[in-house]
């Protein structure tokens, strides 16, 4: 199941990165785009994670064994407005949106998306936040937990999101 959650995260991220790269296609070569995306993905994001519940599997990605849960953050090569538009319009068909919009969190304007998806017979609650990092990049935060996970896992995901969402 851990592999399934990571695969779902990576699929979601890949879709966002492919779309982000299309925007800059006129300005950059394919090699330049890939290099920039890799550089951004390697930047460590200041994030607080409960290490008793989650273990780090890659920089900015943490998973739990049981119940299944994932915390992930990354910098994407996309303006806030473009990321907002893509989050609202380019979701995988298996993702069922429960709530989405834009709001202030910790004094920062964020676009958010909450919903569920199903993988291998397990229903996953997902939350995505996007905030502006600078004129050309955003920070994406994703938290996922299987439906029925104990509240302390949900609380840990929310605490991690709050640690990422702050004025730069």
Q: How far is CA 156 from CA 25, 122, 133, 140, 152, in A?
A: 38, 20, 23, 17, 6
Report whether pLDDT(95) > 50.
yes
Q: How confident is the model at residue 96 (pLDDT cuts 50, 70, 90)?
A: very high
What percent of the chain lies above the pLDDT cut of 70? 82
Report whether pLDDT(43) > 50.
yes
Q: Give 105-160 pLDDT, tens digit per residue.
A: 999 999 999 999 987 788 999 999 999 999 999 999 999 999 999 999 999 999 99
Helix (H) or strand (E) holding 74: strand 69-76
Q: How far is CA 75 from CA 66, 100, 153, in A?
A: 28, 20, 24
Q: How confident is the model at residue 27 (pLDDT cuts 50, 70, 90)?
A: low
Q: Which domains does the chain have, with CATH numbers?
A: 2-164 (3.40.1000)
What is the structure's pLDDT at 29? Answer: 74
Q: How many CB atoms lie within 10 A of CB 36?
A: 17
Please give the average per-residue pLDDT across 9-20, as a whole number.
Answer: 45
């Amino acid at each position: 199941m851990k592999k399934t959650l990571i695969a779902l995260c990576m699929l979601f991220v890949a879709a966002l990165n492919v779309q982000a790269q299309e925007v800059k296609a006129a300005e950059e070569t394919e090699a330049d785009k890939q290099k920039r995306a890799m550089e951004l993905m390697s930047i460590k994001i200041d994030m607080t994670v409960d290490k008793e519940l989650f273990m780090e599997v890659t920089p900015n990605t943490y998973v739990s064994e049981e119940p299944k849960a994932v915390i992930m953050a990354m910098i994407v090569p996309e303006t806030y407005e473009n990321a907002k538009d893509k989050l609202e319009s380019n979701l995988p068909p298996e993702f069922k949106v429960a709530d989405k919009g834009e709001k202030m969190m910790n004094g920062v304007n964020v676009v958010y998306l909450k919903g569920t998806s199903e993988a291998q017979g397990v229903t996953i609650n997902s939350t995505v936040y996007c905030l502006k990092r600078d004129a050309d990049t955003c920070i994406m935060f994703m938290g996922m937990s299987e439906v029925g996970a104990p509240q302390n896992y949900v609380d840990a995901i929310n605490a991690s999101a709050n640690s990422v969402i702050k004025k730069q």
